Structure 1
Amino acid sequence: MNYDYLIVGSGLFGSTFAYEAAKHGKRVKVIDKRDHLGGNIYTEEVEQIQIHKYGAHIFHTNNKDIWDYVNQFAEFNRYTNSPIANYKDEIYNLPFNMNTFNKLWGVKTPDEAQAKIEEQRKAANIEKPRNLEEQAISLVGTDIYQKLIKGYTEKQWGKKATELPSFIIKRLPVRFTYDNNYFNDRYQGIPIGGYTQIIEKMLASDLITVELNCDFFERKEDYLRMYPKIIYTGMIDQFFDYQYGELEYRSLQFETSILDQANYQGNAVINYTDAETPYTRIIEHKHFEFGTQKKTVITREYPKAWTRGDEAYYPTNDDKNNKTYQKYKKLADSQSQVLFGGRLGMYKYYDMHQVIASALSFAEKEFN
Structure 2
Amino acid sequence: MKQYDYLIVGAGLFGATFAHQAKKRGKKCLVIDKRFHAGGNIYCKEEEGINVHYYGAHIFHTNDRDIWEFVNSFVEFNRYTNSPLANYKGKLYNLPFNMNTFYQLWGVTTPEEAQQKINEQIASLNIGEPQNLEEQALKLVGTDIYEKLIKGYTEKQWGRKATELPAFIIKRLPVRYTFDNNYFNDKYQGIPIGGYNKLTEGLLAGIDVQLNTNFFDDVEHFKSLAEKIVYTGPLDEYYNYQFGELEYRSLRFEHKRLETPNFQGNAVVNYNEREIPYTRIIEHKHFEFGTQPHTIITYEYPATWEKGMEPYYPLNDDKNSKRFKQYQELSEKESNVIFGGRLAEYRYYDMHQVIGSALVKAKRELGD
TM class by smaller structure: over 0.9
Q: CA deviation at 1:172?
A: 4.1
* TM-score (normalised: structure 2): 0.97
1: CA distance, partners of 2:58 / 2:348 = 14
Return closer, same or farther for 1:171/1:314 CA change in 2, 3 Å cut-off: farther
**Alignment partner, residue 284 of structure 2:** 285
Are positions 1:185 and 2:186 aligned together? yes
- 3-state SS of 2:8 partner: strand
**Alignment partner, residue 306 of structure 1:** 305
Are positions 1:196 and 2:197 aligned together? yes
| Bigger Cα displacement from structure 2, 13-22 vs 171-180 | 171-180
2: CA distance, partners of 1:50 / 1:135 = 38
CA deviation map 1:122-166 (0-9, x unaligned):
122122223221221121111111111111111111111122222
2: CA distance, partners of 1:363 / 1:151 = 41
1: CA distance, partners of 2:204 / 2:5 = 15
Residue 228 of structure 2 contacts residue 336 of structure 2 at CA under 8 Å; is this kept in 1? yes
Residue 47 of structure 1 contacts residue 295 of structure 1 at CA under 8 Å; is this kept in 2? no
2: CA distance, partners of 1:256 / 1:226 = 39
| Consecutive unaligned residues in structure 2, runs of 5 or more | none
- 3-state SS of 1:242 partner: coil
Equivalence map 1:234-253=2 (5 Å): 234-253=233-252
**Alignment partner, residue 255 of structure 1:** 254
Residue type of the alignment partner of 2:193? I
**Alignment partner, residue 6 of structure 1:** 7
1: CA distance, partners of 2:27 / 2:253 = 38
CA deviation map 1:233-260 (0-9, x unaligned):
1111111111111111011110000000
Are positions 1:337 and 2:336 aligned together? yes
2: CA distance, partners of 1:10 / 1:88 = 41
**Alignment partner, residue 321 of structure 2:** 322
1: CA distance, partners of 2:164 / 2:230 = 35
**Once superposed, what is the RMSD of the aligned Cα atoms?**
1.1
Percent of aligned positions that are identical: 65
Q: CA deviation at 1:90?
A: 1.1
Return closer, same or farther for 1:11/1:172 CA change in 2, 3 Å cut-off: farther
Q: CA deviation at 1:320?
A: 1.7
**Alignment partner, residue 214 of structure 1:** 213
Residue 95 of structure 2 contacts residue 183 of structure 2 at CA under 8 Å; is this kept in 1? yes
Residue type of the alignment partner of 2:313? Y
Number of residue pairs aligned between Structure 1 and Structure 2 = 366
Residue type of the alignment partner of 1:238? E
- 3-state SS of 1:66 partner: helix
1: CA distance, partners of 2:166 / 2:335 = 34
2: CA distance, partners of 1:5 / 1:267 = 43
1: CA distance, partners of 2:160 / 2:152 = 10
Are positions 1:84 and 2:85 aligned together? yes
**Alignment partner, residue 351 of structure 2:** 352
2: CA distance, partners of 1:305 / 1:109 = 42
Are positions 1:174 and 2:175 aligned together? yes
Runs of 4+ displaced beyond 4 Å: none
Residue 232 of structure 2 contacts residue 340 of structure 2 at CA under 8 Å; is this kept in 1? yes
- 3-state SS of 1:342 partner: coil
2: CA distance, partners of 1:357 / 1:166 = 29
Residue 150 of structure 2 contacts residue 272 of structure 2 at CA under 8 Å; is this kept in 1? yes
**Alignment partner, residue 53 of structure 1:** 54
2: CA distance, partners of 1:330 / 1:165 = 26
Residue 140 of structure 2 contacts residue 172 of structure 2 at CA under 8 Å; is this kept in 1? no
1: CA distance, partners of 2:296 / 2:323 = 40
| Consecutive unaligned residues in structure 1, runs of 5 or more | none
**Alignment partner, residue 267 of structure 1:** 266
Are positions 1:102 and 2:132 aligned together? no
Residue 164 of structure 1 contacts residue 318 of structure 1 at CA under 8 Å; is this kept in 2? no
Residue 256 of structure 2 contacts residue 298 of structure 2 at CA under 8 Å; is this kept in 1? yes
1: CA distance, partners of 2:66 / 2:88 = 39
2: CA distance, partners of 1:96 / 1:258 = 31
1: CA distance, partners of 2:168 / 2:357 = 22
**Alignment partner, residue 159 of structure 1:** 160
1: CA distance, partners of 2:314 / 2:291 = 37
CA deviation map 1:296-321 (0-9, x unaligned):
00000011011111011111111221
- 3-state SS of 2:298 partner: strand
2: CA distance, partners of 1:218 / 1:254 = 27
Residue 84 of structure 2 contacts residue 268 of structure 2 at CA under 8 Å; is this kept in 1? yes
Residue 159 of structure 2 contacts residue 304 of structure 2 at CA under 8 Å; is this kept in 1? yes
Q: CA deviation at 1:171?
A: 5.9
- 3-state SS of 1:237 partner: helix
